[in-house]
Chains A and B, each alone.
Chain A
Amino acid sequence: MTINPSGWRPEAPQAGANEAATFTGNRALMLEEPLIFEIGSTATTGVDFGPAPATSGSRLAGLERTAPIGLPGLSEPEAVRHYTRLSRQNYAIDLGLFPLGSCTMKHNPRLNEKVARMPGFADLHPLQPVDTVQGALQVINELAFWLIDLTGMHGVAMSPKAGAHGELCGILAIKAALEARGEGHRKVILVPESAHGTNPATAAFAGYAVEDIPATAEGRVDLAALKARLGPDVAAVMITNPNTCGLFERDMKAISDAVHAVGGYVYCDGANFNAIVGRVRPGDLGIDAMHINLHKTFSTPHGGGGPGAGPVVLSEALSPYGPLPFVAKMPDGHYKLVEEETADEDHPQTFGRMTAFHGQMGMFTRALTYILSHGADGLRQVAEDSVLNANYVLRSLAGTLDAPFAASGPCMHEAIFSDEGLAEGFSTIDVAKALIDEGYHPMTMYFPLVVHGAMLVEPTETESKAALDQFIGALRSVAERAKAGDPTLKSAPHFAPRRRLDETLAARKPVLVWKEPELAEAAE
């Protein structure tokens, strides 16, 4: 199991300059790990079922699966080792600072995990009679009220499964509201160029034409240009605040007022809510809908790419259109679930259901646990420390890296730099890959698109000053090397489990599933 011959391509050079020649391909604690298909067998299982039940035939309508499926099994010790070894090839917050801008990679408290696994939450079926799940409905309701209070909004849709699903929820509520007003003809949604890609993708998915909102040189929405474009064809604007340049949109209230004046709605991408939680309520800025990534602001784990959770807070104007199902507290203290059955009475203007069940319950228990731990005072401190940490990074590095918006005022939770001033032929990716060798996950690269070679650094509030000082030192050192044209940066990372990977090859000849070597060769 320690030998991984197929980890090597026979036609490729056997070892790079920094590759120790070992029999196994391993380098001490850096362990190569084959695929389960190379080490498992379809006859092996790591699960016991006890004695087989006495059966009397089957009732499968003659549709028995007879052909081999090709699913390898491992015994429990082999499986534990396989996944443990693989895990060690991952960077994670538990290992160090993870300054991925716009992603809010903060510490994930373990109490959240413990609570989510209590059988009273984890072992509930979504269709159990509501009398048997009153505690679960109370969790959803308590979290809903925290989200409403923290944002100063009127209502909240809890069921969206992730941020982008929340965006869709908000846009559908806007569309439903417009149609109810007889203004379904509004077909344009305005989105700043600096927006997350999900914004225009969501608007297009819901059938809208997407137009760019220009930005000012200082990195904010150009209010005059926006006002000039507003008109009776505009359904909504989608604004990220704080924005993806790390700045607070000073004119947010004026933007909302202008959009409302022409009959449109304001969607706010709440990905960056962490910077303002407890200090500013989006409801006070005229926002009509905003999704909240529980996996960002409220510390539920990112899990290597999900699951997320994207509840959407809604203004009074949009709340009547929010999705089913939702939890309602009755005067007698009982909780009920409003579904299609009683929607005509309880929620007649709903745009409908977005997902099979009630949303990401496992994330609700974690987020509520986090919120109760911090309380109103702690959450405010979260925003303050996240902004303080980001400004500390910004000011500490502004003399080394180009900070295009350093003169635009303090940043919020993230600091942005450009690749200006790096030596000819060097770009952001070289800085990023060298940071990997320094033991860090790189910052967000080349996003937002409005900054050349953008490096977006979000340290979050869960980093100590000592951790920031070391990171700043590392990034300064790497930046100096990039400015001096140090050629070793071009081949970084040198010390990661893999060197730079050939993404062009992956896309040109997609290999998306494993095939037995003889089949793979035959296919080529």
Chain B
Amino acid sequence: MRYLPLTQPDREAMLGVIGARSIDDLFVDVPEAARLDGPIPGLPLHASELAVERHMAALARKNLAAGDAPFFLGCGAYRHHVPASVDHLIQRGEYLTAYTPYQPEIAQGTLQMLFEFQTQVARLLGTDVANASMYDGSTACWEAIVMARRVTRRAKAVLSGGLHPHYVSVAKTMAKFTGDVLETSLPSLTAEPDTAALIDKIDDDTSCVVVQYPDILGRIADLSELAAACHAKKALLVAVVTEPVALGLLKSPGEMGADIVVGEGQSIGVGLQFGGPYVGLFGCSEKLVRQMPGRLTGETVDADGKRGFVLTLSTREQHIRREKATSNICTNSGLCALAFSIHMTLLGEAGLRQLARVNHAAAFAAADRLAEVPGVELVTPSFFNEFTLRLSKEARPVVRQLADSDILAGVSLGRLYPGAESLEKGLVVAVTETTTAEDVAVLAEALREVLA
């Protein structure tokens, strides 16, 4: 038991100081019927580091890692190259094994980093302020809907059909219990996003419109008109960004008038990790800041007048306000926020723009190459690094078939929208700087065979 430093003589000496005869004396308050006499039967006993590593490595080998295959999945999680120094730095014990910075005098490392993170995120999203992160994009999206309800005192949210279906599912789950009203729709397999339809749905009961940018099919819409339509009815525009690298090339939602911008920050610094942990981004305009959920770091001075940072505006939060808090959130996603921030610092504006350009160029080269395959049609004329193809066959079995030959071809809309016949031929393909021309050629050839 290599993680337990007490020796048997230590334990006996300590029991002596306490005045207990045995360890059982310390568990006297447990009702007798509920006491376990020894290790729970049927479970393995302690194991060596070598044995555990061997077991876990065997499980890891049962998976097809993205790096071992031509890989084209996106839809809310993207594979990007993360510089080696990012992972090295986040493994420093002073970050990895620190707690939420409740004692700011000895947590300036985390606090200054979070202040830098908040600034980077706000600038990227085009908002005045941003918080110290949320669990992930999907929960940040729901928190934005709730925040819009608090701000507008209205309970109807209009969700775009282009919003990630899992984000819609999360919101539907929560709304069932909170009484929020959601208007949702399926996306249609067309070139145009549903901006016009959204504008038609805004009325005097609407708290917000939630729109993804770029959307689940990869489409890009100008949000300015939608923002104006929201504001005309005193509703808020919530924009959701699941691929923040796109904002290296695309106008930010804040610039186009979004009041709250949330996002999934996984793409920068965090890695795929089979869905988590990720890092939710949350930005808004300055006037809404006191309605924001989550931790916030702010600048102040210490007793000597030196600049320092603290957690602030905590009167919004559960540990002070209890049942009147803006959210029940306690943890953020600190270490993932650190990874995001380090990666963003390494990129800088010039690097982020270059990364975005490389992604975009690779994506449209791939789109053109794939569209040449008989039975493949490009649905989305404009996109960032992710686009939708219409196949001549149902896409989901195609994806499974290609996976059998170790090609991870993309996300079929059948997987995301099971039972929606109008979408079943859709395949969403993501291309990043990690995708090679050879990968694209392999996919094109495989599609040619399977669609023939």
Across the interface, A108 reaches (CB within 8 A) one of B6, B43, B96, namely B96
Question: How many angstroms between the C-alpha atoms of A236 and B281 in the bound complex?
Answer: 33
* A262 at the binding interface (Cβ < 8 Å): no
Across the interface, A61 reaches (CB within 8 A) one of B93, B116, B221, B408, namely B221
Across the interface, A513 reaches (CB within 8 A) one of B130, B304, B310, B322, namely B130
A58→B179 contact, CB < 8 A: no
Cβ contacts under 8 Å, A117 to chain B: 87
* A354 at the binding interface (Cβ < 8 Å): yes
With A44-B350, A197-B320, A410-B20: A37-B272 Cβ-Cβ less than 8 Å? no
B222→A354 contact, CB < 8 A: no
Smallest CB–CB gap between A332 and chain B, Å? 15
Across the interface, A8 reaches (CB within 8 A) one of B61, B93, B300, B305, namely B305
* A276 at the binding interface (Cβ < 8 Å): yes
* A302 at the binding interface (Cβ < 8 Å): yes
Chain A residues numbered 67-113 whose CB sits less than 8 Å from any CB in chain B: 67-74, 76, 79-80, 82-84, 86-95, 98, 100, 103, 105-109, 111, 113
Residue-wise interface mask of B (303-335) relative to A, using a CB-CB cutoff of 8 A (1 in contact, 0 not): 111111110111101111111110111111111
Smallest CB–CB gap between B447 and chain A, Å? 16
Across the interface, A514 reaches (CB within 8 A) one of B15, B30, B119, B133, namely B119
* B373 at the binding interface (Cβ < 8 Å): no
Question: How many angstroms between the C-alpha atoms of A251 and B252 in the bound complex?
Answer: 56
Cβ contacts under 8 Å, A53 to chain B: 357-358, 361-362, 365
B109→A491 contact, CB < 8 A: no
Smallest CB–CB gap between A437 and chain B, Å? 10
Across the interface, B403 reaches (CB within 8 A) one of A65, A67, A131, A175, namely A131
Cβ contacts under 8 Å, B309 to chain A: 501
List the A residue with the shortest CB-CB distance to B322: A200
Most B CB contacts (10 A, CB to CB) among A304, A360, A388 go to A304
Stretch from B68-76, B196-204, B228-236 contacting the other chain: B68-76
B96→A45 contact, CB < 8 A: no
B307→A410 contact, CB < 8 A: no
Residue-wise interface mask of A (343-361) relative to B, using a CB-CB cutoff of 8 A (1 in contact, 0 not): 0000000011111111111
With A198-B330, A355-B135: A363-B272 Cβ-Cβ less than 8 Å? no
List the A residue with the shortest CB-CB distance to B362: A53
Residue-wise interface mask of B (170-211) relative to A, using a CB-CB cutoff of 8 A (1 in contact, 0 not): 101100111100000000000000000000000000000000
Question: How many angstroms between the C-alpha atoms of A421 and B325 in the bound complex?
Answer: 34
A465→B13 contact, CB < 8 A: yes
Stretch from A13-21, A221-229, A312-320, A475-483 contacting the other chain: A13-21
List the B residue with the shortest CB-CB distance to A372: B52
Cβ contacts under 8 Å, B442 to chain A: none
Cβ contacts under 8 Å, A488 to chain B: none
A76→B328 contact, CB < 8 A: no
Number of residue pairs A-B, CB distance < 8 angstroms:
736
Question: How many angstroms between the C-alpha atoms of A45 and B347 in the bound complex?
Answer: 5
A111→B329 contact, CB < 8 A: no
B77→A501 contact, CB < 8 A: no
B255→A361 contact, CB < 8 A: no
Chain B residues numbered 59-93 whose CB sits less than 8 Å from any CB in chain A: 59-68, 71, 73, 75-77, 79, 83, 85, 87-93
Q: How large is the interface on A (under 10, 10 to 19, 20 to 34, 35 or more residues)?
A: 35 or more
Q: How large is the interface on B (under 10, 10 to 19, 20 to 34, 35 or more residues)?
A: 35 or more
Cβ contacts under 8 Å, B324 to chain A: 204
Across the interface, A340 reaches (CB within 8 A) one of B104, B122, B177, B418, namely B418
A59→B381 contact, CB < 8 A: yes
Smallest CB–CB gap between B63 and chain A, Å? 4
A47→B89 contact, CB < 8 A: no
List the A residue with the shortest CB-CB distance to B62: A135
B360→A58 contact, CB < 8 A: yes
A206→B106 contact, CB < 8 A: no
A172→B177 contact, CB < 8 A: yes
* B291 at the binding interface (Cβ < 8 Å): no
List the B residue with the shortest CB-CB distance to A9: B305
Chain A residues numbered 1-54 whose CB sits less than 8 Å from any CB in chain B: 6-9, 11-16, 19, 33, 35-37, 40-47, 49, 52-54
Question: How many angstroms between the C-alpha atoms of A118 and B55 in the bound complex?
Answer: 12
Cβ contacts under 8 Å, B312 to chain A: 503, 506-507, 510, 512
Across the interface, B277 reaches (CB within 8 A) one of A73, A91, A95, A360, namely A360
Across the interface, B98 reaches (CB within 8 A) one of A91, A340, A410, namely A91
Question: How many angstroms between the C-alpha atoms of A339 and B91 in the bound complex?
Answer: 34
Question: How many angstroms between the C-alpha atoms of A339 and B347 in the bound complex?
Answer: 37
A306→B334 contact, CB < 8 A: yes
Question: How many angstroms between the C-alpha atoms of A256 and B344 in the bound complex?
Answer: 50
A391→B63 contact, CB < 8 A: no
Question: How many angstroms between the C-alpha atoms of A146 and B334 in the bound complex?
Answer: 27
List the B residue with the shortest CB-CB distance to A206: B177
B119→A304 contact, CB < 8 A: no
Question: How many angstroms between the C-alpha atoms of A79 and B347 in the bound complex?
Answer: 10
Question: How many angstroms between the C-alpha atoms of A74 and B348 in the bound complex?
Answer: 7
Question: How many angstroms between the C-alpha atoms of A108 and B302 in the bound complex?
Answer: 32
A248→B30 contact, CB < 8 A: yes
Across the interface, A92 reaches (CB within 8 A) one of B90, B97, B124, B334, namely B97
Smallest CB–CB gap between B118 and chain A, Å? 6
Across the interface, A361 reaches (CB within 8 A) one of B274, B346, B365, B384, namely B274
Question: How many angstroms between the C-alpha atoms of A385 and B65 in the bound complex?
Answer: 39
B302→A307 contact, CB < 8 A: no
With A9-B307, A76-B83, A87-B92: A198-B249 Cβ-Cβ less than 8 Å? no
* A270 at the binding interface (Cβ < 8 Å): no
Most B CB contacts (10 A, CB to CB) among A9, A37, A68, A161 go to A161
* B137 at the binding interface (Cβ < 8 Å): yes
List the A residue with the shortest CB-CB distance to B344: A71
With A44-B350, A410-B26: A502-B318 Cβ-Cβ less than 8 Å? no
B166→A356 contact, CB < 8 A: yes
* B369 at the binding interface (Cβ < 8 Å): no
With A135-B63, A505-B301: A356-B342 Cβ-Cβ less than 8 Å? no
Residue-wise interface mask of B (135-154) relative to A, using a CB-CB cutoff of 8 A (1 in contact, 0 not): 11111000000000000000
Across the interface, B42 reaches (CB within 8 A) one of A37, A139, A149, A379, namely A149
List the B residue with the shortest CB-CB distance to A392: B14
Across the interface, A378 reaches (CB within 8 A) one of B46, B133, B314, namely B46
Question: How many angstroms between the C-alpha atoms of A432 and B106 in the bound complex?
Answer: 12
* A125 at the binding interface (Cβ < 8 Å): yes
List the A residue with the shortest CB-CB distance to B213: A63
List the B residue with the shortest CB-CB distance to A301: B96
* A496 at the binding interface (Cβ < 8 Å): yes
With A164-B318, A304-B110, A465-B6: A409-B29 Cβ-Cβ less than 8 Å? yes
A90→B349 contact, CB < 8 A: no
Smallest CB–CB gap between A468 and chain B, Å? 8
B85→A253 contact, CB < 8 A: no
Cβ contacts under 8 Å, A355 to chain B: 135-136, 138-139, 166, 170, 276
With A356-B138, A376-B43: A309-B277 Cβ-Cβ less than 8 Å? yes
Question: How many angstroms between the C-alpha atoms of A197 and B328 in the bound complex?
Answer: 8
B322→A395 contact, CB < 8 A: no
List the A residue with the shortest CB-CB distance to B58: A135
Cβ contacts under 8 Å, A89 to chain B: 106-109, 112
List the A residue with the shortest CB-CB distance to B11: A388
B119→A136 contact, CB < 8 A: no
Across the interface, B310 reaches (CB within 8 A) one of A353, A447, A503, namely A503
* A329 at the binding interface (Cβ < 8 Å): no
A372→B139 contact, CB < 8 A: no
Cβ contacts under 8 Å, A301 to chain B: 96-97, 335
15 contacts between A and B (CB under 8 A): A16-B303, A47-B346, A70-B123, A115-B60, A120-B59, A132-B63, A304-B101, A307-B276, A357-B76, A357-B275, A360-B276, A375-B46, A384-B23, A410-B18, A462-B5
7 shortest A-B CB distances, which residue pairs? A73-B348, A12-B305, A357-B275, A120-B60, A303-B335, A94-B93, A135-B62
Q: A69-B247, A84-B89, A138-B62 given. 20 additional CB < 8 A pairs?
A: A37-B116, A40-B345, A47-B354, A53-B362, A58-B360, A67-B255, A82-B345, A90-B108, A118-B56, A123-B271, A123-B272, A125-B77, A146-B43, A202-B328, A304-B100, A356-B166, A372-B44, A375-B43, A496-B105, A505-B301
